[in-house]
Structure 1
Amino acid sequence: MEIRTLGSADLPACADLAESRSWPREPPKWALLHDVGQVFGVDAPDGPGLAACAALVSFEAVASISMVLVASRFERRGLGRAITAQALAAAGDRVTWLHASTYGRPLYESMGFVPDGGCQGHVGTFIDDGGPGASPGSLCPTSTRWTGSLRAWTGARCSPSWGRRSWSTAASRSGWTSGT
Structure 2
Amino acid sequence: MSLIFRAMTAQDLQQGYHLTQQLKWPHRPEDWQQALSLGEGVVIEEQGKLLGSAVLWRWGDRAATIGLVIVDSQQQGRGLGKQLMLTLLEKVPDYNVRLHATEMGKGLYEKLGFVTLGQIHQHQTRALETVPPVAIPAGLTLRRAQPQEIATLTALDRQAHGMLRPQLIAHLISQHQTVLLADEQQQIYGFASLRRFGYGWAIGPIIARDLPVAQALVASLMQGLRGEFVRIDTDAALPLSSWLATLGLKQVDNPTTMVRGTPWTPPAGGLQAFGLMTQAMA
Q: 2:257 aligns with which of 156, 164, 175?
A: 175
Segment of structure 1 superposing worse, 23-32 or 5-14: 23-32
- Normalized per residue, the structure richer in helix is 2
Q: List alignment gaps of at least 5 residues for structure 2.
A: 125-143, 164-201, 209-234, 237-253, 263-282
Partner of 1:152: none
Q: Is the 8 A contact 1:113 1:176 kept in 2?
A: yes
Q: Structure 2: how far apart are the matches of 1:134 and 1:121?
A: 29
- Secondary structure of 1:55's match? strand
Instruction: Give the TM-score, by structure 1 length.
Output: 0.70
Name the aligned partner's letter for residue 13 of structure 1: Q
Higher RCO by CA contacts (8 Å cutoff, separation 6 or greater):
2
**1:140 Cα shift?**
1.5
Residue in 2 that maps onto 1:65: 66
Is the contact made by 1:4 and 1:40 (CA closer than 8 Å) also made in structure 2? yes
- Match of 2:100? 99
Count matched residues: 155
TM-score (norm: length of structure 2) = 0.47
Question: Which residue is 2:19 aligned to?
Answer: 17
Which of residues 137, 147, 156 is equivalent to 1:130? 147
Q: Which runs of 4+ in 1 moved over 4 A?
A: 120-123, 133-138, 158-163
The answer as to 2:52 corresponding to 1:52 is: yes
1:56 partner letter: L
Which structure has more strand as a fraction of its residues?
2
User: Deviation at 1:29?
Assistant: 2.0
Equivalent position of 1:155 in the other structure: none
Give the conservation status (yes or no) of the 8 Å contact 1:119–1:161. no
Q: 1:140 and 2:158 equivalent?
A: yes
Identity of aligned residues (%): 25
What residue is the counterpart of 1:108 in the other structure? Answer: 109
SS at match of 1:177: strand
Gaps of 5+ in 1: 146-157, 164-170
Counterpart in the other structure of 2:211: none
- CA shift, 1:74, in A, is 0.7
Higher Rg of the two aligned structures: 2
Instruction: After superposition, give the CA deviation of every residue in 1:118-167 in whole Å (9 maximum; x if it has no partner).
Output: 336588xxx974364689955325xx89xxxxxxxxxxxx978889xxxx
